[in-house]
Amino acid sequence: MNVRLEPAAVRGFRFAGVAAGLRSERGRKDLGIIVADSPAAAAGVFTTNRVKAAPVQVAQEHIRGGRLRAVAVNSGSANCFTGKTGIKLARDSAASLARAIGCDTQLVAPCSTGVIGHLYDLEKYRAGITDAVAALHADSFADFATAIITTDTHAKIASVQMKVAGSAITVAGCAKGAGMIQPKMATMLAFIVTDAAVPTPQLRAILKHLLPVSFNAVTIDGDMSTNDTLLLLASGAAGNRRLAGRDLANFEQAVSGVAETLARELVRDGEGATKLVTIEVRGARNAVEADRVAREIANSPLVKTAFFGCDPNFGRIAMAAGKAGVAIATERLEVSVGGIKIASGGALNVAALPAAGEKMKQPEFGLILNLKQGKASAQVMTCDLSFDYVKINAEYTT
Amino acid sequence: MNVRLEPAAVRGFRFAGVAAGLRSERGRKDLGIIVADSPAAAAGVFTTNRVKAAPVQVAQEHIRGGRLRAVAVNSGSANCFTGKTGIKLARDSAASLARAIGCDTQLVAPCSTGVIGHLYDLEKYRAGITDAVAALHADSFADFATAIITTDTHAKIASVQMKVAGSAITVAGCAKGAGMIQPKMATMLAFIVTDAAVPTPQLRAILKHLLPVSFNAVTIDGDMSTNDTLLLLASGAAGNRRLAGRDLANFEQAVSGVAETLARELVRDGEGATKLVTIEVRGARNAVEADRVAREIANSPLVKTAFFGCDPNFGRIAMAAGKAGVAIATERLEVSVGGIKIASGGALNVAALPAAGEKMKQPEFGLILNLKQGKASAQVMTCDLSFDYVKINAEYTT
């Protein structure tokens, strides 16, 4: 399976991205739509933040039926903490696209990303929908991906083409934001479409499986957005036979591959990020404990500034692991950074620190912490905490 | 009650702080001792991090008897993640002071602060103990306070003098580190001594009461040290009658006042901190939920960079509150910054944002979030996340 960082046409879907004037930057694309030729099987997962944006609430309601004709995404405003007016705005937005393509409003999922607490102009939105529908094209996936980004430095796109259950299929996805990193620009949004024929229950199962190893396995600053949304749509245009056994596994791997790639790209483009670090915790008594330790390390500002400073600071790593509330036998703890063992058997390997520091100068490296208590493991991707993170989030305020 | 940021003599105790050569900076004080004329009632609380430094383990064991003759604190090395060698070093360190003052080793609590994973030179330590014992003086509290600091910009000292249960008493305390902020220099250490006559069970109860409103109510970066230690010693030299009722309440208030003042000073001197922010969550269903929401706000890097940038960023505050896992009715949420209401009734008060931004330019301000769901509240003190935090923790590595 070969995941490419490129868009692809996906039979049964058309895409568009236009400048509707919803953002302050003139002429910048800010409204993207995905339209299926006929209702596609659809599944979604949404933020678990207790403060949920209006479009999240409406999209959750609309996707319950397991089918969608279209997705409408605006950037510039998160339409969050906007009360009943916000809910009405999200419904009216979905309705405007539904009307334009001739389907029920329930078949359109609205998504928003941008500043919290602000509404957007419905009239401009409606005019933008008209433009977007006119611009719909099978080859415009990149336009859609570009319209939904905010502080991202570029659109994140990934696709896979493969043969499954007797048919050539395509899976294409895009994502914006950097996970929990930029709630001012409120969101991680990701959309994955495929022409494979996959019933909704299978899509839901696939989403459930891929989440822990993709979007839920990245953390930038531990901050969780109010608008996070991941939608997976299958048009069925590939005409493949029903997926089962090895075929289902292969397809699931393709979708997972696209999701993992997008998640990785989000971290790489994280605010101020200069390094992508994969934190792997091994030898835990169970997966929950492994995950908790990995996240404490990944989210510790002291560990993240040490990443930035290329400092194999074992003390900070041990401190972060220790505060996960998981029993730790320090005499067994083993830690390696960039493949260099810096601590084991209860002692720091001082001689190895310079070499580990060298490895940390690379744009991507791994940190492995072995608790040596069991067989469970967990992996989390994160980035460093740099001057630019502070700059972006403190200086450039709105 | 008047808490002063000054040292005071406390009958029944003598203090010293000397340069024993345990730190790389030549001539800098790095070994401090407190010695009671006779065994003092003593109580302590220690880090809940699962990775505990050797001296923490030994001090916990020694304080179990409820009495201490002395405390020996070194800076430069945390003696953490040092295995059995570290435990032996902590015991030998306590023994050297015990021998010098002629008491049982069990009556000496060893404490260390500094780099994790490194030992210190026992011979230098022993020579330092000899010097320190020779230098012991009732007026040398400030020397002790200076010997235990690491990256702190200055020693933090607070004292209270008052009349309790028929006698004039003094409570004096000092602290180092900035709570959970600098585990490289591994620690928050605090010592409070009094000449009041207070039995150990009462001391323990007082510590239990004061913790939530002092040291446990501050957070710099959510990072929890491996060496955190707070000791409270009472010599009884004041000869007061047994504390009960109003007297006990007054005494408890004095100790609490010293602890709160020290905690506040720690945050004010936090790494890179330019502002002290008090986060108060009101209207929660219970205290646990209030505390959880307050801590999510206080520890969110996005909220903290907004503090640094004087940006009354409601979106980030709401996001942080929402990820505490506490049910939130956004239409009831009320938030004020620096006394200016920036959101209420489910809507952002856009007109008030500039005034709130002005208030945030002050070195100290409050943020109040009212959930309007109940009557419980919680308060946490924190600081902003600045360029200097990244600089200190990324550039100046060892």
Residue range B223-278, pLDDT digits in tens: 666 777 888 889 999 989 999 999 999 999 899 888 888 888 888 887 788 899 99
**pLDDT value at A397 more than 60:** no
Q: CB contact, 8 Å: A354 with chain B? A: no
Between the alpha carbon of residue B66 and those of residues B200, B208, B212, the distances in Å are 6, 15, 22
With beta carbons less than 8 A apart as the criterion, state whether B50 and A326 touch. yes
Residue A224 three-state SS: coil
Task: Detail the DSSP E strand segments found in A349-397.
Answer: 364-370, 376-383
**A93 band by pLDDT with thresholds 50, 70 and 90:** very high
Specify burial of residue A64 (Cβ count, 10 A radius: 0-12, 13-18, 19+): exposed
Nearest to A315 among B184, B300, B322 (CB): B184
**pLDDT value at A61 more than 60:** yes
Alpha-carbon distance of A395 to A376, in angstroms, equals 42
Average model confidence (pLDDT) across chain A: 88
Interface test with B, best of A223, A226, A289 (most B CBs within 10 A): A223
With beta carbons less than 8 A apart as the criterion, state whether A7 and A172 touch. yes
Between the alpha carbon of residue B3 and those of residues B7, B79, B157, B269, B276, the distances in Å are 11, 33, 10, 18, 19
Neighbour count for residue B327 (Cβ, 10 Å): 11
Alpha-carbon distance of B333 to A24, in angstroms, equals 28
Specify burial of residue B246 (Cβ count, 10 A radius: 0-12, 13-18, 19+): exposed
Cα pseudo-dihedral A356, A362, A364, A368, rounded to 10: 0
Buried b (16+ CB within 10 A) or exposed e, B366-378: bbbbbbbbeebbb
Which of A156, A155, A160 minimizes the C-alpha distance to A170? Answer: A160
| Structure tokens, B13 | 């105790």
A334 CA: distance to closest CA in chain B (Å)? 11
Helices B122-135 and B83-101 pack at an angle, to 10 degrees, of: 30
Between the alpha carbon of residue B370 and those of residues A251, B284, B317, B322, the distances in Å are 48, 8, 12, 13
Which positions in chain A touch B301 (Cβ < 8 Å)? 221-223, 301, 385, 389, 393
**Catalytic residue, candidates B150, B187, B219, B229:** B187
B389 CA: distance to closest CA in chain A (Å)? 9
Q: CB contact, 8 Å: B61 with chain A? A: no
Residue A298 three-state SS: helix
Tokens 């560990």 identify what position? A303
**pLDDT value at A184 more than 50:** no
A125 CA: distance to closest CA in chain B (Å)? 22
ipTM above threshold 0.85: no
Q: Let me know if B187 is a catalytic residue.
A: yes
Contact assignment for B309 to A222 by CB distance below 8 Å: no
Average pLDDT score over residue span A280-287 = 95
How many residue pairs from chains A and B have C-beta atoms closer than 8 A?
228
User: What is the DSSP code (8-state) at residue B357?
Assistant: H
| Structure tokens, A50 | 């207790």
**pLDDT value at B187 more than 60:** no
Higher pLDDT, B324 or B339: B339
Structure confidence at residue A181 (pLDDT): 46
Contact assignment for A51 to B321 by CB distance below 8 Å: yes
Neighbour count for residue B163 (Cβ, 10 Å): 12
Nearest to A315 among B115, B308, B323 (CB): B115
With beta carbons less than 8 A apart as the criterion, state whether B193 and B235 touch. yes
pLDDT tens string A254-279 = 998 888 888 888 888 877 888 999 99
Neighbour count for residue A242 (Cβ, 10 Å): 11
User: What is the DSSP code (8-state) at residue A73?
Assistant: E
Least confident of A300-309, A358-367, B175-184, B225-234: B175-184
Least confident of A68-82, A91-105, A167-181, B210-224: B210-224
Which positions in chain B touch A350 (Cβ < 8 Å)? 117
Nearest to B330 among A78, A81, A299 (CB): A81
With beta carbons less than 8 A apart as the criterion, state whether A227 and A76 touch. no
pLDDT tens string B80-134 = 888 899 999 999 999 999 999 999 999 999 999 888 888 999 999 999 999 999 9
**B46 band by pLDDT with thresholds 50, 70 and 90:** confident
Average model confidence (pLDDT) across chain B: 88
